[in-house]
Amino acid sequence: MIANQLNHLKSIGVHDGLHVYQCELENSNGIKVSIINYGATIQSVICPDKNDVYRNVVLGFETLKAYKNHNAYLGCTVGRYANRIAGGTFAINDNVYHVTKNEGDNCLHGGEKTLDKKVWDIIDLDRQSVTMKTESVDGEEGFPGHVEITVRFSLDDQNNLEINYQAESDKDTVLNLTNHSYFNLSAHPNILDHQLQINASYFTPIDPQGIPTGEIKPVANSCMDFLNATRVGDALHPNNVELLKITKGYDHNFVVNDYDKTLTKAATLSDPHSGRIMHVFTTKPGVQLYTGNHLDLEISGQHIGPYSALCLETQHFPNAPNTPAFPSAVLKKGEAYSETTVYQFVVE
């Protein structure tokens, strides 16, 4: 860390002998984003509503201890492989790799001691951006290759919170990085009145373990159709028996329309009560909608339960390393991994 950056940071504790810092980005419109280098985690996003009342719109703990004691992935950078790998096994170039099984028989978000548990180095910081770096050694959680990873968070004056991921490996590997923020754009205790539109004509159906079946199905005439803005509470209606039986809500990957590896609009989330709107753009082929089906934690004395917030995790498809029909998530030795996600905040 550059020494003269220390007076711009607030220490919130120590993990594995390393200081954990909180840094705050702020744009000319008064939007503030707090990020900590434990897990390269978005701790808060404070933005105005239609009455110019500022409020945090993501779930985040106040203390380092709370982050260490819970495994809900609040706002953190997850990987090496975000989402699930079936059986904790995949092959590259006829080499079979066995990675940590931390969700039944499957690997979720890269295993146990993954990117969200690391203290990242802060390598650059100014009023509107921060860049963090970490490494994952060859064999960590079973994944091949020594991978160096950089994540840059930037907040511009058009209210775009951009997350740019850069990485390189010394061996062929798989890599799928995302941010796991939970959004609630209102002052209400749940997101049932939020309106959600997802730019996806297709989705990837899942089996009872949350693993894609390998199919890519149309969303038409199903509860997966968010092509037009839909009230989240209506989509979660008990009549959607098949959906609720498997996941007790949404935990599904949607195939972003017009994916061509450039920045594409993936989704829009809005709240009619506050007037807040969030547009999501990504260079990735998929977006995972998770409606916080299993949330059970406490923040500032308030219980946070199911459907208190939702995630829109831009990603490569779950279990892509074992599904040749899906876009490849293989990162070749020496190639540059570069992906971007943008959350744009608007008020109407």
Query: How wide is the angle at C-alpha 111 spanned by C-alphas 108 and 116, nearest 5°?
Result: 95
| Greatest distance between any 2 Cα atoms in the chain | 59
Find the catalytic residue in 180, 194, 252, 279.
Answer: 180
Torsion, Cα of 309, 315, 317, 320 (10° steps): -140
Residue whose structure tokens are 């200081």:
19
Q: Which residues pair with 56 in a beta bridge?
A: 46
Peptide bond into 80 cis (omega under 30): yes
Known catalytic membership, residue 19: no
Strands 129-136 and 264-270 come out as unpaired
Gap between the Cα atoms of 144 and 136, Å rounded: 10
In whole angstroms, how far apart are CA 335 and each of 51, 82, 173, 174, 237?
Answer: 48, 20, 11, 12, 45
User: Residue 320 in contact with residue 326, Cβ under 8 Å?
Assistant: yes
Gap between the Cα atoms of 178 and 340, Å rounded: 9
User: Residue 131 in contact with residue 106, Cβ under 8 Å?
Assistant: no
Name the token pair of 100. Answer: 């940590």
Known catalytic membership, residue 313: yes
Gap between the Cα atoms of 256 and 265, Å rounded: 8
Strands 77-78 and 178-179 come out as antiparallel
CA distance from start to end of the chain: 40
At a CB cut-off of 8 Å and minimum separation 6, what does 218 contact?
A: 201, 202
Q: Count CA within 13 A, CB hemisphere, residue 324.
A: 2
Which residues participate in catalysis according to the annotation? 180, 313
